[in-house]
Structures are given as structure tokens and as C-alpha cells.
């Protein structure tokens, strides 16, 4: 990166924070950022044997170089997520402070584009509920796309300001606040973060984070865990907010991190947070601190008996919808006013009923597709879901054809193919094809089409 571009006030701040280590920090900023991925344990086919593991996340690995992820069908199919290594420390924080093998209600309050959400989805038991919330509407579609690719049916996507979630007070066992921040830890990866940095912006971020934490605090049940993280080094953000939480009904939880991980323990009085620096770990700047709620918040009671806008599918339609799922008896089947068919995990049905009244801008359950006359048009999300049946007709594609599929080209096969088929690559579902007459139509949604030239890769 261009070290000349480092804001002088940032340099002074980091010199004060790091002392003699400052020159190592600057040297690290001048190196390329490491590339890392986290594999999807329910689509576990990415070859990792030769990869260097990330010590704090068993599903995380460093790649020797940056490939074109867009042109990897396994990436498009949700076999892995490209995530900066330090931020996977969330995995260790969860493991040490949350009993993950029981059903939990979890909120990722600042979720887009979905890095922490995909990590949470993998870490939770299948009968847990994960709400991925993003306040900025334009960022919800990328969040939805990433969660669809990941393919877990116990996920709700919502679009609310944290302060508008009061009807969920006392509801959650875990809330993750991966707060919008000054992004000092991303300067090497993202020059925009550096160009936008100013002391005034740091103060703005700090105040915004306090507002978010103030809104997050009542959403937790007593004993619940709040995980606060940022990708900055700034004490006005990290340390001050950590103090804010201990003054508002939370006690800090410390983590046991092996010394050879080189993660710095940052103490403020009795409170501790953990800071990754690029000269000490193979990753970017990241801060994380864990809290347990000691205060009591009465849970909101909503007496909803029926869903507001969805209706149960009729028996004949239900029988037809069930054929598309691997374990259909674990789901109930519903239809939205626009005709979209949804499968809701039965273990979460009561929770969804409550959420239906409590949250307005949300989507939940597995969107399966739509009935059209005698046909059922399956959705792309269904193809990518871990709940889809493994007994449906499928066609194995070469890498070249898989990329053509993602270019939304119509594919040509030697033999005529009929009806709905799952397009697969290395056994992983990519989406739907439909054979009609001599043609095979490609049902990749327009918005998912890759625009890059694939010629040199096929």
C-alpha cells in the first residue's frame, strides 16, 4: 500500500499505541494482505489438505495467492466464503463463551455482506435461529445472496435500524455487533478506508457504535452473550465502547488465547478486548470483546396465533412441494400472497410466528419456488439449500460448462434432457436447468450472472 497516504494523525496515534513496534506495523502494511477462506461444513468439498490452517477457526485456511473467486464454481455454489483471517476470531470467542450444541436465538445486528453471518450459521446447531440484520437497504441483497449460497434454512434476513427492534427485547441468547467503524485495520486491503479516515469520522463512528450497542443491549436475555467487534485499532471506538457496556448491565468475559497466536490482550480497567495487528498475525486489524448480560429485560409478549400474510399450502400442493426436500417431514409448507412457496423448519415454527408479528422487513424460511399451472418452478435458493433433496435429477457439468452456466448461457448436451435438473459441479448444486424439446434452459437468476470474461479460464 502507499504508506505516504497514511494520515499523519493516524500515524501519531499508532506510534503512541505501539511504541517500538510501530516500524514493524508499517512494514506489515507495505506487504500484500493475506488471502483466506472459510469452508462451508455442510458443502464440504473444497480441497484444504495442502492449505495452511487459521489457528482460531478450524474451517478457515490461508490461500497461497488470490485466485479469481468469481470464476470458481465452488465459490458460486457456497462451498466457501472469502473472509479475512483475523475476523474469524469470532469463532473462538463463540466456542469459549457460548454452549453451541443447544438451540439458540442469535442476532447478527450489522450483518452485510454476511461474513460473520455465514460463520455463525455454521457454528450454530441446525435448530437454532439466526437473524441476519442489515440496516442499509441496498446492502441487503448481497447479504441475502451470500446466505442463499451458504444454504441454511434456519436463517432470517431483516432490514431494520437496531433502534427499531424493540419488540425483540429479551429475546436473544447471543447478539453480535460487528460495528461500522473507522476501518483502520483495513487500510492495507482497502485504500478507500484510508482516504475516508479523519479524527472527526472516528468520533462519528464511536458515537454511532454507542447508539447501536445501546439498542442491542436490551435485545439480550439475562445471561446472554454480546460480542462486539470492529476492524479498527482506535481506542475512541474500541475501548470506550467496551467501557460503555460494562456500565450498562454487562460483565466482560475474558478468552484464553494461546500466546503463539500473537493476539494482543487490551485491558481497560478490569475489561479486556483482543486486538489483531498485521505485524503480529497473518491477517488484518481486528478487535473483539465479549460480554455477558447481568441485567434483566422482560421479554416482549406477542399473542400471535396465525401468520399475518402467509397461508398454509393445501395438502395436494404440500405433497408436491415435499418431493423437493431431503427431509420434508422436518418442514411445514406455506405460500406468500405473491405465490412464493416457503418451507419453514418445524422446530422454529412458533419462533417464526412470533417474528412475523415482531419484525416487519424480513424474509424467513426457505424460499422454494412457485406453482405455475401443473409445474413447480423451483427457486435458485432451493438449489443451493442444504435442505434440497439429493434424489432429484441432476447433470454433472465440466468446469467450462459450470462457468457457462454462471454466464447464463444455454448449455448444449449430447442427449436430450427433460424436465427440471440440478446443474452440478463436483457434486455440488449450482442451480436449475430445464430440458424442453431440444433445448436446455438455464434458470440462473439474472442478478447472479457473472459478467467477467471466462475465455481464458475454460
Return residues touching ligand SAM (CB under 6 A): 110-116, 134-136, 139, 162, 178, 180, 208, 212
* Closest CB to ligand SAM among residues 104, 411: 104
* Closest CB to ligand SAM among residues 145, 178: 178
Least distance from C-beta 405 to ligand SAM, angstroms? Answer: 26
With a CB cutoff of 8 Å and minimum separation 6, the contacts of 447 are 141, 145
Q: How far apart (Å, rounded) are the C-alpha atoms in residues 229 and 92?
A: 13
Q: Mark whether 231 is an active-site residue.
A: yes
3-state secondary structure of 126: coil
Least distance from C-beta 115 to ligand SAM, angstroms? Answer: 3
* Closest CB to ligand SAM among residues 180, 363: 180
Torsion over CA: 334, 421, 412, 444 (sign): positive
- Measured at the CA of 414, the angle between CA 443 and CA 45, to 5 degrees, comes to 60
* Closest CB to ligand SAM among residues 73, 114: 114
One-character DSSP codes across 267-336: EETTEEEEEE-TTTSSS--EEEEEEEE-S--PPP-----S-SS-EEPPHHHHHHHHTTBSSGGGEEEEE-
* Closest CB to ligand SAM among residues 162, 369: 162
Q: How far apart (Å, rounded) are the C-alpha atoms in residues 174 and 101?
A: 14
Least distance from C-beta 139 to ligand SAM, angstroms? Answer: 5
Q: How far apart (Å, rounded) are the C-alpha atoms in residues 162 and 160?
A: 6
Cross-strand partners of 12: none
Packing angle of the helix pair 115-123, 89-97 (nearest 10 deg): 40
Catalytic residue from among 57, 110, 205, 231 = 231
Least distance from C-beta 214 to ligand SAM, angstroms? Answer: 11
The residues annotated with a catalytic role in the active site are 231
Amino acid at each position: 500500500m502507499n504508506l505516504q497516504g497514511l494520515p499523519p494523525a493516524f500515524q501519531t496515534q499508532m506510534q503512541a499505541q505501539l511504541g517500538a513496534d510501530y516500524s514493524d506495523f508499517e512494514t506489515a502494511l507495505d506487504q500484500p494482505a493475506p488471502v483466506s477462506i472459510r469452508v462451508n461444513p455442510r458443502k464440504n468439498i473444497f480441497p484444504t489438505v495442502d492449505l495452511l490452517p487459521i489457528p482460531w477457526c478450524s474451517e478457515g485456511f490461508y490461500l497461497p495467492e488470490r485466485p479469481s473467486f468469481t470464476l470458481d464454481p465452488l465459490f458460486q455454489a457456497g462451498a466457501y466464503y472469502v473472509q479475512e483471517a483475523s475476523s474469524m476470531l469470532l469463532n473462538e470467542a463463540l466456542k469459549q463463551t457460548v454452549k453451541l450444541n443447544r438451540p439458540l436465538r442469535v442476532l447478527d445486528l450489522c450483518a452485510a455482506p454476511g461474513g460473520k453471518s455465514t460463520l455463525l450459521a455454521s457454528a450454530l446447531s441446525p435448530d437454532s435461529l439466526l437473524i441476519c440484520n442489515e440496516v442499509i437497504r441496498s446492502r441487503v441483497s448481497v447479504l441475502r445472496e451470500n446466505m442463499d449460497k451458504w444454504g441454511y434454512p434456519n436463517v432470517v434476513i431483516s432490514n431494520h435500524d437496531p433502534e427499531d427492534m424493540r419488540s425483540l427485547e429479551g429475546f436473544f441468547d447471543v447478539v453480535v455487533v460487528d460495528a461500522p467503524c473507522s476501518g483502520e485495520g483495513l487500510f492495507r486491503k482497502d485504500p478507500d478506508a484510508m482516504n475516508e479516515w479523519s479524527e472527526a469520522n472516528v468520533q462519528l463512528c464511536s458515537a454511532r457504535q454507542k447508539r447501536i450497542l445501546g439498542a442491542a443491549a436490551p435485545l439480550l436475555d439475562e445471561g446472554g452473550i454480546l460480542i462486539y467487534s470492529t476492524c479498527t485499532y482506535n481506542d475512541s471506538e474500541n475501548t470506550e465502547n467496551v467501557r460503555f457496556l460494562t456500565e450498562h448491565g454487562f460483565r466482560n468475559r475474558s478468552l484464553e488465547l494461546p500466546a503463539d497466536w500473537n493476539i494482543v490482550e487490551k485491558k481497560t480497567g478490569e475489561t479486556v478486548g483482543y486486538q489483531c495487528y498485521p505485524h503480529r498475525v497473518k491477517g488484518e486489524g481486528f478487535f473483539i470483546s465479549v460480554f455477558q448480560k447481568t441485567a434483566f429485560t422482560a421479554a416482549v409478549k406477542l399473542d400471535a396465533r396465525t401468520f399475518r400474510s402467509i397461508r398454509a399450502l393445501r395438502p395436494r400442493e404440500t405433497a408436491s412441494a415435499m418431493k423437493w426436500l431431503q427431509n420434508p417431514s422436518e418442514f411445514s409448507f406455506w405460500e406468500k400472497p405473491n405465490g412464493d412457496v416457503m418451507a419453514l423448519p418445524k422446530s422454529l415454527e412458533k419462533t417464526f410466528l412470533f417474528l412475523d408479528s415482531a419484525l416487519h422487513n424480513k424474509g424467513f424460511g426457505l424460499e422454494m419456488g412457485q406453482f405455475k399451472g401443473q409445474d413447480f418452478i423451483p427457486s435458485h435458493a432451493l438449489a443451493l439449500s442444504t435442505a434440497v433433496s439429493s434424489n432429484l435429477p441432476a447433470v454433472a457439468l465440466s468446469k467450462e460448462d459450470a462457468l457457462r452456466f454462471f454466464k447464463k448461457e444455454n448449455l448444449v448436451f449430447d442427449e436430450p434432457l427433460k424436465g427440471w435438473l440440478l446443474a452440478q459441479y463436483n457434486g455440488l448444486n449450482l442451480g436449475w436447468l430445464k430440458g424442453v424439446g431440444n433445448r436446455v434452459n438455464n434458470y440462473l437468476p439474472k442478478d447472479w450472472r457473472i459478467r467477467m470474461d471466462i475465455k481464458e479460464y475454460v
